[in-house]
Amino acid sequence: MSLNVTREQIEVVVTPKMNYTPSILSVRTATGIVEIQADDDQLAEIEHAIKQHLDSVKYSTQEVAHDTD
């Protein structure tokens, strides 16, 4: 499954695990949603891969404008 979000605003949320479900990483756009059920180790692997990529392109998180409305 893939979702091209390159030209859309996204909303990213991690829903904490519950008694019978693992944590859920959700990426939502106007055109669709991808949800990944993962344990904490898997979420850490995703975080690590994203950080490595951003470090390789010298991306600064300070450049991201966060909407706090």
For the chain, the domains span 11-62
Residue with tokens 């949800």: 35
Query: Residue 69 has what pLDDT?
Result: 47
Q: How far is CA 58 from the centre of its chain?
A: 19
pLDDT band at 8 (very low <50, low <70, confident <90, very high): very high
Question: Which strands make up the sheet holding 33-38, listed edge to edge?
Answer: 11-15, 23-28, 33-38
pLDDT tens-digit series, residues 13-56: 999 999 999 999 999 999 889 999 999 999 999 999 999 999 99
